[in-house]
Amino acid sequence: MSTVLFIKANNRSVKESISLKLYHSFLESYQETHPHDRIIELDLFKQELPYLDANLADGLTKVKFGIELNEDELKAIRIADQYLDQFLEADKVVIAFPLWNMTIPAVLHTYLDYLNRAGKTFQYQSPKAIKDKNDPFAAATGLIPDKKIALLNARGGCYSKEPFAKLEMGVNYVKNNLGFYGVKNIETVIIEGHHQFPDQAEEIIKTGLEKAKIVAKSF
Ligand SMILES: Cc1cc2nc3c(=O)[nH]c(=O)nc-3n(C[C@H](O)[C@H](O)[C@H](O)COP(=O)(O)O)c2cc1C
């Protein structure tokens, strides 16, 4: 039995939202095909997620140097730890999110800020130990290479190809963070272009939702 964490980062109605339709297609298909797995749903917009700020940054630095923390710092670390531990305990993680203003919703950014933790998701590498200077991920050793992740994303325009691909800082942002943690196994289902090509929108969305169901079966 696997524990699967389903995360959603969109609080629009499912009727309106394509990324939430992706979430539900994937979830229903997954439940049908993996009836014995334990599923945990995390709706980021229903959580109180304080931004990464001085309390968390200073608190973590103090922990590193064995300095006593004040109450605000302790509280900030406790909140981040709660989400970090839940993420680490899951065998598989599914994250559904829209592209907003070329990037991810702020709640997901904050959530990823909690996951970026030296000693838990990655370990800094000493500069001398870095073998491949051209590997951007070589500065750290990822500590969770076996975590299975699925990214479900919807975006109104097409960003799959250049010159538009470089503008996309949503899926790329999440993938870069996961790459830093050493995650190798990432499934991606993206529905894109339904705003850019409204005459094809119905077909684009239908095809994407079907793909989500298929990917969920073998996830
Ligand atoms: C505030 C806002 C910003 C958006 N920014 C972009 C964008 O930068 N690029 C894009 O292609 N689509 C953008 N869109 C469209 C969404 O990506 C599109 O609606 C997609 O289906 C994901 O949102 P949904 O899950 O709510 O449907 C934006 C939509 C909103 C509401």
Annotated binding-site positions: 17-19
Query: What is d(CA 113, CA 111) in angstroms, rounded to the nearest whole number?
Result: 5
Ligand 1 centroid, distance to 205 Cα (angstroms): 14
Task: Answer whether residue 93 shows pLDDT above 90.
Answer: yes
Query: What is d(CA 207, CA 29) in angstroms, rounded to the nearest whole number?
Result: 15
Query: pLDDT of 26-42, one tens digit each?
Result: 999 999 999 999 999 99
From the alpha carbon of 17, which atom of ligand 1 is closest? 27
Contact criterion met (CB below 8 Å) for 97 and 91: no
- For atom 26 of ligand 1, the residue with the nearest CA is 17
- CATH fold of the domain at 3-217: Rossmann fold (3.40.50)
- For atom 9 of ligand 1, the residue with the nearest CA is 102
DSSP 65: T
Annotated binding-site positions for FMN: 17-19
Q: At what angle do helices 201-217 and 18-33 cross, to 10 degrees?
A: 30
**In the block, residue with structure tokens 């991606």:** 188
Q: Which of 21, 24, 101, 155 to mutate to test the pocket of ligand 1 (most atoms within 8 A of CB)?
A: 155
Query: pLDDT of 120-164, one tens digit each?
Result: 999 988 777 777 878 877 878 999 999 999 999 999 999 999 999
Residue list, ligand 1 pocket, CB within 6 Å: 10, 12, 17-20, 98-102, 154-157, 195
Query: What is d(CA 139, CA 115) in angstroms, rounded to the nearest whole number?
Result: 17
Cα-Cα end-to-end distance for the chain: 13
Contact criterion met (CB below 8 Å) for 149 and 180: no
Residue 147: exposed, middle, or buried by beta-carbon count in 10 A (0-12, 13-18, 19+)?
buried
Global pTM reads 0.96
Average pLDDT of the segment spanning 14-24: 98
Domain ranges of the chain: 3-217
pLDDT value at residue 126: 79
Ligand 1 centroid, distance to 102 Cα (angstroms): 8
